[in-house]
Amino acid sequence: MTPESSAAKVLQDAASLAGLDAKLTAFPREGSLAARLSTHPFIMAPMAGVSDSAYRMMARAGGASLAYSEMVSVAGLHYGGAKTWELVVPHEPEPDVAVQLFGANPEQFEEAAALVTERLGDRLALIDINMACPVPKVTRKGEGSALLEDPKRAADIVGACVGHTEVPVTVKIRSARRTGDPEVAADFARAMEQAGASAVAVHGRTASQMYRGEADWGVVSRVVDAVDIPVIGSGDVKSAADAARMLESTGATAVMIARGSYGNPWIFGNAQRIHAGERAVEPSVSLRLAAFCCHVRLLEATQAHMAKARSLSGWYLRGVPNAAQWRERAMHCKTVDEYLELAQTLDGLYGDGL
């Protein structure tokens, strides 16, 4: 059995036990991007070190209409790194993926857009360009949020991608590079629209804030007012209610959910329910444990490193009685069977039967 087919089997066997959908629905391909996003507005954000194939499948099973790869280096693709391509290529159960690229060289972006488009074919939903990452090892090379201070280069990068792919090209930005600097998001987004971007995602913090303090959702509203393309809001979406509230309060076309999805793949479907005026469905302890088991099994099926399950245990075990004690025990698990046995033990103590 191939890893891809075993991932499909994991979803078939385990997703419904966690209140998730075993059949992952593709992002619509017909109609304008604005229409597609507005109908399916809750999407899973790109997260470095987090949004691998297993994570994306869990999010899609929970109702995310679109899921993003981790940041993919255009330089890595240029030099043909196999590890870089592992971040790009979706596993078999994934109907499609949004690929987020980062770098600072327009020629490498041009090459990367063409290569990714050719290799993924109709499983490429869109290409996103990271102009938001605040991490110094990225920005010191002029990449990520450093591009907020170089709108000419940023526009050249957008144009390079647009000219070499048939899918929408989007950008993700922050409000400004540094706290105390004038806000640049609206003007920068307008320049990216003129360069050919099909949408812009806005995180309501400056890059120097990293992920500290509160996100300013007003930045999202100001970008909405500045451009005619869809705007995707991001920042401090910690719950399904937050996601629905951001959509309604900012005028954004869609909402990108990042840390709020940690151990909570149901957040996407619940946001859609709240947005539709329906009641959210909160997962029981047994559902959370079943989702943990599903996610761990997907890690194995996609040949991801099992050390990632330690982070998962911290997320999925929140709310379980004596959670700190059980998380500590999970830190000593090394195999899939050990994690599954831990979940079975917890369900026997606190759940209603896996």
219 φ, ψ to 5°?
Answer: -60, -40
Separation CA 170–CA 197 (nearest Å):
5
Angle CA(10)–CA(21)–CA(203) in degrees, nearest 5? 105
Burial group, residue 323, by CB count within 10 angstroms (0-12, 13-18, 19+): middle
Whether the Cβ atoms of residue 248 and residue 231 lie closer than 8 Å to each other: no
* Of 133, 161, 293, 294, catalytic: 133
* 133 labelled catalytic: yes
Whether the Cβ atoms of residue 309 and residue 339 lie closer than 8 Å to each other: yes
Burial group, residue 238, by CB count within 10 angstroms (0-12, 13-18, 19+): middle
Burial group, residue 337, by CB count within 10 angstroms (0-12, 13-18, 19+): exposed
Active site residues: 133
